[in-house]
Structure 1
Amino acid sequence: MGSATFVEVILAILLPPLGVFLRYGCGVQFWIDLLLTIFGYIPGIVYAIFVLVG
């Protein structure tokens, strides 16, 4: 796993916007992930993992 911690990945699975918020704050990544999570939970998870690990 890249530089993501285990806790960030678990939070990204449970509450995707929270996992991204802890790493990037209220930046663009957070808002994209929030919108994806609102439109569908699975896309939010996929994006959060992609952002945190990639």
Structure 2
Amino acid sequence: MDSLTSCSIRGFGIPVGLYIVLSYQVSFLITGVVDFAFVLTSDLTDDISLF
């Protein structure tokens, strides 16, 4: 387990860090897109209800 952990840290330390950062950015982007889509759809439904 120790040798496996040290090997994975040496081999995958940078990719894991990048993956964590990318997944955080992607989740932030997804929440932003969802919020934007929600606002957009609410605006569209407001326009539709006006007509």
The TM-score, its normalising length taken from structure 1, stands at 0.27
Q: Which has the higher helix share?
A: 2
Larger Rg: 2
Query: RCO (CA 8 Å, sep 6+): is it higher in 1 or 2?
Result: 1
